[in-house]
Amino acid sequence: MSKKVLVAYATKMGATATIAAVVGAELRTAGHQVDVREIGAAPAVSEYDAVVLGSAIYRGRWRPEAVRFLRDHERQLRNRQVWLFHSGPIGPSKNQNQPLPPDVARLAHLIHPNPPKTFAGDLQAEAVAGIGAHREDLEHLIGDSRDWPEIHAWSDGIATALRTAVVQP
Ligand SMILES: Cc1cc2nc3c(=O)[nH]c(=O)nc-3n(C[C@H](O)[C@H](O)[C@H](O)COP(=O)(O)O)c2cc1C
């Protein structure tokens, strides 16, 4: 059965937005009705059967607007199927799973989402210049480490879980 799904994301430099778009496209291909929205522009959670929420990680933290979204919608999210992902690790540590930051973990404890997923991220040279960092300090991290087959596979798992899930009244 087709479900209504919100894919909401918080990004600074765009890498997480593209991951969210790919997740959304995969769910749509599987027959679900999907809206992919930047988290600040996300419609009411009450309109959806399920929510996929992703944030970029910076210095071990989620983007503040993503934490705010979890906090503000905690009660509604509790009653829905929720998947969390974050995009971060780049360079030599691109395959390292990242724990949820403590504030996000506390909220997740209340919401009971599916197990969170870490996706490797992307750091472009222009972005390094944009944040005022010295290129030579971050040179070893520059590049796109996003693993598209892994992102597709994770999305497929969600599509399957949604097909068999019972919608909460
Ligand atoms: C200043 C800075 C700090 C970062 N801190 C982390 C971090 O603590 N953990 C992590 O996994 N990735 C970290 N990253 C990598 C970013 O999360 C990665 O580039 C991500 O894909 C960016 O997503 P966005 O383009 O959606 O903003 C950092 C990147 C920068 C530039």
Domains along the chain with CATH numbers? 4-164 (3.40.50.360)
Partner residues linked to 62 by β-bridges? 57
What ligand 1 atom has the least distance to the C-alpha of 14?
A: 25
Residue 112 to residue 98: CA distance in whole angstroms = 18
For 85, phi then psi, to 5°, come to -140, 155
Sign of the Cα pseudo-torsion (156, 21, 117, 78, in order): negative
**Residues whose CB is less than 8 angstroms from the CB of residue 147 and which lie 6 or more positions away in sequence, other chains included:** 119, 120
| pLDDT value, residue 148 | 98
Strand 122-123 vs strand 143-144: parallel, antiparallel, or unpaired? antiparallel
Q: Is 120 in the pocket of ligand 1 (CB under 6 A)?
A: no
**Which ligand 1 atom sits nearest the alpha carbon of residue 17?**
26
- pLDDT given for residue 168 in this prediction: 53
Residue 166 has a pLDDT of 62
The series of mean pLDDT values per 10 residues for the chain, 169 residues long, is 95 97 98 97 93 97 98 96 96 93 98 98 83 74 94 97 72
Find the 57 Cα to ligand 1 centroid distance in Å.
Answer: 5
Coil, helix or strand for 80?
A: coil
